Amino acid sequence: MPGLRSSEKKLGQLSGIFRDAQAFRGMDPDTIVYRVWWWEPVPGGTEGGLFWGLTEIQPGSVGDEYYMTHGHRHAVLDRAEFYGTTVGEGMLVLRDESGRSWFEAMKPGSLHYISGRVAHRVVNTGDVPLRFVACWPSDAGHDYQIAGGKGFGARVLRQNGKPSFTLTEE
């Protein structure tokens, strides 16, 4: 299909994202953490256009921290996005410009509106791949600088066998 693209993120490409650096160093950097497929029916930067995508995050963890996406906000700050969960369970971690962090539970059928100016990342807290579809403006762009191991003000950790959303000073 014209305009269909894909990418994958391996563990080695996510250096600095996970808090347990020692556990991270002991893992295979070629492990695939997540894949993204997206459709660009119009050129990037087209005002008024929309892109659609599918993300699949593998189950797993680095130490006690679940696999997650790198996380981003949009380069054009007033551009919103929708996520819809199709398979698996996870958490959508959000942080607004004031520094407030929160999460929304992701499960099959859940739909999430992500307002412009809000940074977002997704964490797979289940035992199967977490899959969700996304729709975003074709002129939104991506700013990944907010991630870099810091910027979200929260971590999702496995505590007593269950996911725990923990606010941090990061």
Q: Is the pTM of this model over 0.75?
A: yes
Provide the CB-side half-sphere exposure for 7 (13 A, CA).
7
Q: Report how many domains make up the chain.
A: 1
CATH value at residue 81: 2.60.120.10
For the chain, the residue count is 170
Q: Tens digit of pLDDT per residue, the chain (170 long)?
A: 677 899 999 999 999 899 999 999 999 999 999 999 999 999 999 999 999 999 999 999 999 999 999 999 999 999 999 999 999 999 999 999 898 999 999 999 999 999 999 999 999 999 999 999 999 999 999 988 876 545 688 999 999 999 999 998 77
d(CA 160, CA 101): 23
Domain region containing 38: 4-167
- 43 burial (CB, 10 Å; 0-12 / 13-18 / 19+) is exposed
